[in-house]
Structure 1
Amino acid sequence: MSRFDWLSEFLARLEDEHLIARHGDARALAPAHCLELDADDWAEAGRVAAEMGLRHAGVWVDPLGSGPIERGAERGTKVEDQAIRVLACLEHGGDYLILQTLVPLVAQTRPVLGSHTPAYPGVDRLERHAQDLTGIRFRRHPDDRRWIRHQAWSAEDFPLRADFPIEGRSAGRTPADVDYPFTRIQGNGVYEIPVGPVHAGIIEPGHFRFQAAGEDVLRLEERLGYVHRGIEKLAVGRDPQGLMRLAGRVSGDSTVAYAWAAAQAMERAAGCAPPPRAMSLRAILAERERIANHLGDIGAICNDVGFAFAHVQCARLREQWQRRSAALFGHRLMMDTLVPGGVAHDLSETAFRELRLDHAALHKAIEPLFDIVDDHPSLDDRLIGTGILAQADARALGCTGYVGKASGMTFDVRRDSPYAPYDQVRVDIPKETAGDVAARVRVRMKEVLASLWMLDRLLDVLPEGEIAVPFPLPEEGAVGLGLIEGWRGEILCFVRFAEEGRIARYFPRDPSWFTWPALERLIHGNIVPDFPVCNKSVNGSYAGVDL
């Protein structure tokens, strides 16, 4: 199917199904196409898209107005002012389509919309997240359990609605959340192992409930969302610079990628074009972030199976890398290095030379190290054939990043839907097909090498000029879509502006929404002691799905 033909076929299929489709403003969420649907046709459109092989890249809601329409309200009240707008992003061959619909808010009635989860199991928790925070119900959703809802909220409290105060309404201590109804397997010899949410290490809170027979894992179910920092609510009313600072703290190990996604969304909404030098510097920061995190995880995976040598070496190299980031960009994790319209730090001639030397030194150090990791009997014994994620499961869940690439799914925003400066440089995408822990390690090692090569190419052609331009305040109602390839995979960001350039809605979607469910599938057939290495090989972001 040639480029864009899929969109014509999709529209034709909707017509054949007697669904009334209305084109929206094609520029509103560029580069995505936009399609306005009647609410009654929402679920059916999802089913058609799944049959055509479109990948679901996320669903979110945008509550409009201040609350439900009360009985006796003035006749002039607009439906758009008292409604929930629901948006879903679909991808095919690097092209994006945004489906939109309006669900009116009616007094004393919960808004209802058909679910995409029966066709796209990867959006299960995203729909439940939206349900808990806005009150919308997804008809025919296979799992009606709450996901993010805290005991601090009553059954009729929906924190993302405008009439809910950011400080909440609860007085006193919130009761412990101990009644989540985990699914259980019954049978002789089947037992449960609860792990977390508080762990012995420094990881964030997350609960893993195993059903096992002997050492064999029969089922794993995750329970996340223990913190709920209120990121989406905290964004409301911020100025663009304030949103950038918040975005950089959604998931601290992806601060550059999240800030870039937010900047891209806001800049598209405002019609702002950052200078070429700024875009190249953003890419340099993003590739440095990718390398640092992959180095840390490669070592941690090896450490989980007792190969401490690789862990020590990767930790040493990562520490040197992050110290250089602190020296040149002001922060080990490179927080607050991006600003609306550009970047905050330029590269001096001295810094330029230091980066060149660093790239060469790291490449020299990792080549023999990666050779050992790739072919060492004790590692092979524990990693090969462990935690296999079948390509069919990766595709069904919508996995991107190293998890998808290790199972044969090579989608990468930098190559398949390129943005500056990646549209001017070759992006090598590693691919493995085994889908096991070893494959995920090999993808990470190849990405480190590819990023090192790319960093030198970016320095070779680093444009001269300014590193930022003034950011014009967007009009009220302006919307923007950000799509960035973070080190975990595709990051999506939606922004809508209110008056005076303030943020009315911010939604960041981490790739971990799709890879956490993958962990539940790939652990099947493995033994309980292999869970730590399987978990680390996926390394989903707790914070990224605990907004």
Structure 2
Amino acid sequence: MTLHTSNPNNPVQAATIWTQPIAENLQKLGIKSDFQPHSQWISRLSLNRSDWLTVAEVLRSLEARFSALWADEFPEYAEVLCLYFVENHYLLVTTKICTPELHLASITTVFPAANRMERHTQDLLGIAFNDSPDDRRWTRHRAWKEKEYPLRQHFPLQPEAQKPTPADSHYPFFQTQGSAVYEIPVGPIHAGIIEPGHFRFQAVGETILNIEERLGYTHKGIEKLAVGRSPQDLLKLAARVSGDSSVAHSWAAAKALESQLNIQVDNKVHLLRALICERERIANHVGDIGAICNDVGFTFPHQQCARMRELWQRQQNLVFGHRLLMDCITLGDVSFSLEDAQLNKLQNEAFDFKKDFSQLIQIIQDYPSLEDRLANTGTLPPITAKQLGCLGYVAKASRFYVDVRIDTPYPPYHMFCPDKIRHKTGDVMSRLQVRVDEVRDSLRLIEEILNCLKSDTAPCAISGDQAADLIEEKASHQSSHSKTSSNIGSIGLVEAWRGELICYIRLDADGKVCRYFPRDPSWLNWPALEALLDGNIVPDFPVCNKSVNASYSGVDL
């Protein structure tokens, strides 16, 4: 068991230490900085609107990584929030924009990864980002009128007499000129049972010159649906943001809520949450390994991976109550308990799974035709992965390492140290190999977690009734002491199977949800697909797409 080094006990002192280089650079530019501790590993910096772009440029010069951008509406102003990762910590940069002048400098020229989140914010809240190199609509198709912004407080969740959304046939795709250039439109309806998304190719012969994605066809209104919900109800919604990441989204939301409500979570609960999160990671990686092989005609691994995943998920249904582990995470607790017999059964299952998996990977690695198809296909250079802020296996395959469990460890990963997995070539083969390595590492972590659980007799943290009482007590405290206490939200960070997952939640004085923004890793991995396909051939699109396997639902909020 390996222990991480944690922050100093004094959060103000911790913020002062790691933010000092940023403060010194800002001081040279005449920008006053007052860093405040937000939570463990996160500091907050409030800015004047005029300094927004300058601070982004300073952070880029310090090798910061862009993580997320969103906005929050208040009666007299809107607040734009941007999360960066720098110096092994997170920095939450915020600025207020007074109505009606809802505009702010775009940071897309500094951090290209911010573009789609800026456009999402523009579409749903009407905040314009000045001088953006791409300010086309993103989430908006044609469901709302020109000046309607569905995430604003006065806009109804379900407008009256709503008609079917007309086809978005006039979206301004980028054009590539040339006498031999032709276009291939793919989707949004596909041959399989996958979600809708449109891909517009420009090609010469079979060589791809450019590909552009168009998503948002299944906009579900998740952010609006969250408003007014109780924390318990929000966790059910979070589990359904992206069904293959049910645990990760639930855990991130629970962490944000528990921070907001000052709920202390028992160590045993942390262990149980990590157990199901690692199981979710294994189930999805194994499915992807088989699908990548299948996309180049190697069907045997696909069949075996499907068999192994099915048995794994059947066991989840028996032990945890759901194949996809939905609603297993509750406020301050989990919805299940494990007796010694079940712990032994899970240990035996993991042992058998590891044996089968090792034999299968040996077959895959000994098949030269597979390596010939996957090596040097869909290569994402490390510098591009870094510029796009890629996450998870997409980043790790291109020597750009991001893992919340190691970078800013949260319980119980402060007790267990995941392997630092990273590959060099950035091609489909590397993305497959990262998955293989992460499955093996997750099996090791599961073994360590189960051993801890077998020796741990501590009770779970709180019951559902106790959670409700805590929410009521917190709401009463907010109402009687300060209305401004509900103006600052909380952030939950989790390493999902696709990578870093972020959740922002703000509760009102009554303990109801005011704002919920889940940033799935797919927001930052989808653009990587466009980049890695340049110069590849059209028939390699399916395997390249599967090697990224970004979530449609995770970004079609």
Q: TM-score interval w.r.t. the shorter chain?
A: over 0.9
Contact 2:18–2:87 under 8 Å retained in 1: no
| Residue identity in the other structure for 1:91 | F
Shift of 1:151: 1.4
Closer, same or farther: CA 170–85 of 1 in aligned 2, 3 Å? farther
- The answer to whether the 8 Å contact 1:152/1:170 transfers is no
TM-score by length of 2: 0.92
Letter in 2 for 1:447: E
The aligned counterpart of 1:85 is 79
Deviates most, 463-472 or 377-386: 463-472
Corresponding pairs, count: 525
How far off its partner does 1:169 sit?
5.2
- 1:506-525 Cα distance to aligned partner (Å, 9 max, x none): 00001111110000000011
Is the contact between residue 62 and residue 86 of structure 2 (CA under 8 Å) also seen in structure 1? no
2:96 alignment counterpart: 102
Deviation at 1:123, TM superposition (A): 1.1
1:117 and 2:108 correspond: yes
TM-score, L = length of structure 1 = 0.94
TM-fit CA distance, 1:378: 1.2
Q: Which residue number corresponds to residue 33 of structure 2?
A: 21
Q: Say what the alpha-carbon RMSD is for the aligned residues.
A: 1.4
Partner Cα separation in structure 2 for residue 479 and residue 348 of structure 1: 37
Take 2:60 and 2:382, find their aligned partners in 1: how far apart are those partners?
16
1:6 and 1:522 map into 2 onto residues whose CA distance is 35
Task: Measure how far apart 1:171 and its partner are.
Answer: 3.5
Cα separation, 1, equivalents of 2:134 and 2:366: 43
In the TM superposition, what is the alpha-carbon distance from 1:173 to its structure 2 partner? Answer: 2.9
Identity %: 47
One-letter identity of the residue aligned with 2:30: H
Please tell me whether the aligned partners of residues 30 and 268 of structure 1 are also in contact (alpha carbons under 8 angstroms).
no
Q: Does the Cα contact within 8 Å between 2:490 and 2:505 map onto a contact in 1?
A: yes
Equivalent residues in 2 for 1:148-547, closer than 5 Å: 148-168=139-159, 171-462=162-453, 463-469=456-462, 470-471=466-467, 472-473=470-471, 474=474, 475=478, 477=486, 479-547=489-557
State yes or no: 1:12 paired with 2:10: no
Distance 1:61 1:158 in 2: 13
- Deviant stretches of 4+, over 3 Å: 2-6
SS in 2 for 1:222: strand
How far 1:30 sits from its partner (Å)? Answer: 4.1
d(CA) in 2 for partners of 1:135, 1:344: 39
Q: SS at 2:177's partner residue?
A: coil
Q: Partner amino acid for 2:461?
A: A
2:280 aligned counterpart, secondary structure: helix
Residue 501 of structure 2 aligns with an amino acid whose one-letter code is I
Equivalent-residue separation in structure 1 for 2:187 and 2:248 (angstroms): 29
Contact 1:153 1:169 in 2 (8 A): no
C-alpha change, 1:170 and 1:214, in structure 2 (3 Å) is farther
How far residue 360 of structure 1 moved from its aligned partner, in angstroms, is 0.5
Q: 1:6 to 1:52 in 2, by over 3 A?
A: farther
How much does 1:429 deviate? 2.2
Cα distance, 1:19 vs structure 2: 2.2
CA contact (8 A) 2:294 2:301 kept: yes
Distance 1:441 1:176 in 2: 37
Query: SS of the residue aligned with 2:154?
Result: coil
Letter in 2 for 1:8: Q
Residue-by-residue CA offset, 1:445-490 (whole Å, 9 max, x unaligned): 0000000011000111123222231332244605211000000000
Q: After superposition, give the CA deviation of every residue in 1:415-450 in whole Å (9 maximum; x if it has no partner).
A: 110000010012112110100000000000000000
Structure 1 letter corresponding to 2:216: G
Structure 1: give runs of 5+ residues left out of the alignment: 66-81
Please list the CA deviations of residues 392-411 of structure 1 after superposition, one character each: whole Å capped at 9, or x if unmatched. 01100111100000001122
Moved more, 9-18 or 525-534: 9-18
Deviation at 1:170, TM superposition (A): 5.6
Q: What is the aligned partner in structure 1 of residue 481 from structure 2?
A: none
Contact (CA 8 Å) 1:30, 1:481: kept in 2 or not?
no
Q: Could you report, residue by residue, the CA deviation over 1:183-212 in whole angstroms, capped at 9, with x for unpaired residues? A: 010102100000000001011010000000
> Do the aligned partners of 1:256 and 1:334 also contact (CA within 8 Å) in 2?
yes
Offset of residue 527 of structure 1:
0.2
